[in-house]
Structure 1
């Protein structure tokens, strides 16, 4: 009888641990795939204009003199 109870305890512990591991893996995956460098101030691209989008914003145009 004791062996059966021990096996049930092991199964329960393993099941709880596997659920915790699964939740942690989902949290990590959400952080990785939900990452946006434009909103992270630690990222080197934060608030920088990319070269191919500079013309659209007007920052890539040459300075023109008004006559």
Structure 2
């Protein structure tokens, strides 16, 4: 290497590192959490109604969006 090529190598290394940093900070798109939460709440409400109808009032042990259990 000559003295003249050293700055070019440093410049390339800097550009390469900068490019890698830019590419590694990509955008992350999150799902619509408000809509998902509303849907889960509605699922739990429906399951609660079904659990109360099946187990009887006061006899429901646990309810989630997919199942329930009686005491």
Category of TM-score, reference length = shorter chain: 0.3 to 0.5
Structure with greater contact order relative to length (CA < 8 Å, sep ≥ 6): 2
Larger CA Rg, structure 1 vs 2: 2
Query: Whose strand proportion is higher, 1 or 2?
Result: 2
TM-score, with structure 1 as normaliser: 0.48
Q: TM-score, normalised by structure 2?
A: 0.46
